[in-house]
Chain A
Amino acid sequence: MFDLKGYGGLLLDGLWMTLAVGLSSMLLALLLGLLGSWAKLSRNPIAVWFADLYTTVVRGIPELILLLLVYFGIPTLIQDIAARFGHDITINLNPFMAGTLAIGFIYGAFSTEVFRGAFMSIAPGQLEAAKAMGMGRSLSFRRILLPQAMRFALPGLGNVWMVLIKATALVSIIQLDELMRKTKIAANATHEPFTFYFLASLLYLGLTIISMLVQSRAECWANRGVAER
C-alpha cells in the first residue's frame, strides 16, 4: 500500500521515542496528580491555594507555550538570575527532559482533578473504620484509600493518557527525535509528505486504539470484585 523507500525503520525508531517520552511524562503526571489531589483535599489553606493555582494556570495556557517556556525560558531565566549574583553559567535542557517536564507538568494538573474526584467518591466511613481498626494514616491510605480510588480514577486516567500521547507530537517542535520529527525527515527526503504524515497519523491512531482496548480490559479487571449494575 505504501512505498516507504526504506524509511520504515526510521518511523519505528520515532515511535519508540514517542512511547518513551509519553510514558515518562505519564509517570510524572501521575506523581504530580497524587501530590496535587492530596494538597487540594488537605486542610492546609496554603497547600490548597498552591494546588488551585497550579490547576487553574495550567488549564489556561496552551501546551505549546508551556513547552517553549520550559525549553527556552527556564534555562535563560536561571542564567539571568545567576548573572545577577555574579555567576556566568550556561544551562542547556535536553529536549527529552524538557518535553517530559512540560507534558508531565501539564497533564499532572488534569490527573490532579481525576484523583481528587476519585478520592472524594470514597465513603468517609471507610477511613473511619480503618482508624477504628488502629491503622495509621499512611497505612490506611495505602490499604484502604488508594486501591478503591484507583478503580474510580481509571477511566479518567485512561483519557489523560490518550490525550497525553497525542500531545507528545509537540515535542518534535523542540527537536526531539520522536515519531513526528522522524516523519518530517522522511517526508522531506522523499518529497512525499502526504504518504509519510498519513502513515504516521495511522501509527498514532493505532496507539489510541490499543490504549482504548487496554483501558476497557483494565476497567473490567479493576471492577471484578464489584457486582454488575
Chain B
Amino acid sequence: MEFSVVWDNLPKLLQGAQLTLEITLLSLMIGLVIAVPVALMRRSKNPLLWMPAYGYILYFRGTPLLIQLFLIYYGSGQFRPELSDLGLWGLFREAYFCGVLALTLNTGAYTAEIFRGAIQAVPAGDVEAAKACGMGRILIFRRIILPKAIRLAWPMYGNEVVFLMQATSLVSVITLLDLTGIAGRIISKTFAVYEIYIMTALLYLAITYAIVFLFKRIEKRLNRHLA
C-alpha cells in the first residue's frame, strides 16, 4: 500500500468533497420547495391535483436515478433546437445544471412522500380539537399540523439526506468532479486504485455520520418538550 499517494492527493479529494456537499445542499433546498406543495397536492381530493403529484412521485421513485440523470443530460440533446429557441440550451449543456436538476427532482419526490406520510400521521383528535377551538383551516395547518408533521418526518428526512448525499456520487458519470469524480481522475494518473477508493470511502463515511449526528441532535431539540 502506498500511503504517500493518499496523503499527497488528500487536498484534491477534499476539494471534491466540497463540490459533493455543495450539490447535496443545493438539491436538498430546491427539492424541499418542490416537495411541500407536491405532498399537499397528493393529499387533495381533486383529481387534477392529486393525479399529477401521484405520477411524479411514482416515476421518480420507481426508476433509477442514473437513468433520470442520463435522460436530462443526454436526452436534452434530442430537443436541442427547441431548447435553443427557448434560450434554455445553455443550461442543459452544463453537466452541473443537469446533475442538480436530476437530483432535485429525485429528492423532491422522495421528500414529498415522506411529508405526506407525516401529515397523515398527525392524530385526527389534534385537528378536531383545533377546529373546536375555532381555528381556521390555514391556522390549523400552520399551528397544529405543520409542527407535528415536521417532528414526525424528521428522522425519515435525515435518512433521505444521507441517501441523497451518497447519490450525488453519480454526477461523476456525467463528467462532474465531485468526490467520486476526483478520485477517478487521481486513479487514472497514479494507478493507486484501492488506496484512493478506500480513502474516498472513508471521507463519504465521515460525511454520512456527521449528517446522522447533526440530525439526531436537532431531533432531540425538536422533541425536547417530550423528555
Which A residues form the contact surface with B (CB < 8 A)?
A: 57, 59-66, 68-69, 72-74, 76-77, 80, 166-170, 172-173, 180, 183-184, 187, 191-195, 197-198, 200-201, 204-205, 208-209
Assess whether A204 is in contact with B64, with CB atoms less than 8 Å apart: yes
CA distance A168 to B71 in the complex (A): 17
Bitwise, B175-201 to A at CB < 8 A (1) or not (0) is 000001001100100000110011011
List chain A residues, Cβ under 8 A from B172. 64
Which residues on the A side are within 8 Å of B197 (C-beta)?
A: 65, 68-69, 72-73
**Nearest B residue to A200 by beta-carbon distance?**
B67
Residues of A near B194 (CB, < 8 A) are 69, 72-74, 76-77
The docked-state distance in angstroms from the alpha carbon of A204 to that of B59 is 10
- Pairwise interchain contact B70-A205, C-beta atoms closer than 8 A: no
Given contacts A76-B193, A204-B67, 20 further A-B pairs with CB under 8 A are A60-B208, A61-B204, A61-B208, A62-B169, A64-B170, A65-B180, A65-B183, A72-B197, A77-B194, A170-B66, A170-B170, A184-B70, A193-B75, A195-B78, A197-B67, A197-B74, A198-B75, A201-B64, A208-B61, A208-B63
User: Which residues on B sit within 8 Å (CB–CB) of A200?
Assistant: 67
Whether a CB of chain A sits under 8 angstroms from the CB of B9 is: no
Interface size class of B (residues with CB under 8 A): 35 or more
| Given known contacts A64-B169, A173-B173, A194-B71, A69 and B201 CB-to-CB distance under 8 angstroms | yes
Interface of A is mostly: helix
- Which residues of chain A are within 8 angstroms of B67 by Cβ–Cβ distance? 169, 180, 183, 197, 200-201, 204
Chain A: minimal CB distance from B10 (Å): 16
* A-B residue pairs, 3 tightest by C-beta: A194-B75, A73-B194, A169-B64
Which residue numbers of B lie inside 8 Å of A, CB to CB?
1, 58-59, 61-68, 70-71, 74-79, 162, 166-167, 169-170, 172-173, 180, 183-184, 187, 193-194, 197-198, 200-201, 204-205, 208-209
Docked complex Cα distance between A197 and B193 (Å): 31
A59-B208, A173-B173, A180-B67 given; A204·B201 CB < 8 A? no
User: Is B180 a contact partner of A64 (Cβ separation < 8 A)?
Assistant: yes
